[in-house]
Amino acid sequence: MDSYEKAVATEMAEGFDRSKAEDALQEFLCARLHGGAAMFESNTVGVIAMERLDWRDEQKIDWDELSAALEKATGVSVACIDDTDWSFDDRCDEEATYFAFAIPSLDRGYADDYRHNKVSAVSPAP
């Protein structure tokens, strides 16, 4: 089992289904932007990531509303939404937006106070 499969297995054991989160994210983006965003593979438990939107599209997103939609779809609250450089083994880093979900195995670094959280009303990380 590779690191991605281990992350997914851990998430499933903790009641989080990342495929539901990714589907809900794409549905939300399509409804507001008339198109989704490229998803990036995440080997980190409780974290999904997408290609960062351009600044015009970012202004069209209500991040609190998106967080609520993701929680409704997954049953797990969003601990943090932030932008970062996403690293890959086989290509250059890309600008990304990641979504950290409040599950017990979430690495607290993804939801620390120093993060620029786009969501104003979040549940604390476990």
The order of strands in the sheet holding 39-40 is 39-40, 47-51, 94-101, 78-86
Asked whether the predicted pLDDT for residue 114 surpasses 80, the reply is no
Question: Between the ranges 4-8, 85-89, 118-122, where is the mean pLDDT highest?
Answer: 4-8
Q: Is there a domain that residue 99 lies in? A: yes
Range from 22-26, 75-79, 100-104, 113-117 carrying the lowest mean pLDDT: 113-117
| Tally of domains in the chain | 1
Q: Is there a domain that residue 48 lies in? A: yes
Q: Is there a domain that residue 118 lies in? A: no
CA gap 58, 108 in Å, rounded: 25
Asked whether the predicted pLDDT for residue 112 surpasses 90, the reply is no
Q: Is there a domain that residue 123 lies in? A: no
Q: Is there a domain that residue 100 lies in? A: yes
Q: Is there a domain that residue 125 lies in? A: no
Range from 32-41, 89-98, 109-118 carrying the lowest mean pLDDT: 109-118
Q: Is there a domain that residue 116 lies in? A: no
The C-alpha angle with vertex 75 and arms to 124 and 103, in degrees rounded to 5, equals 45
Structural domain boundaries enclosing 52:
3-111
Q: How far apart are the first and last CA of the chain?
A: 26
Q: How confident is the model at residue 87 (pLDDT cuts 50, 70, 90)?
A: confident
HEC per residue, the chain:
CCHHHHHHHHHHHCCCCHHHHHHHHHHHHHHHHCCCCCEECCCCCCEEEEECCCHHHHCCCCHHHHHHHHHHHHCCCEEEEEEEEECCCCCCCEEEEEEEECCCCCCHHHHCCCCCCCCCCCCCCC
Say what the pTM is.
Answer: 0.90
Q: Is there a domain that residue 119 lies in? A: no
Q: Tell which residue, 61, 9, 11, has the closest CA to residue 37.
A: 61
32-84, pLDDT tens digit by residue?
Answer: 998 999 999 999 999 999 999 999 999 999 999 999 999 999 999 999 999 99
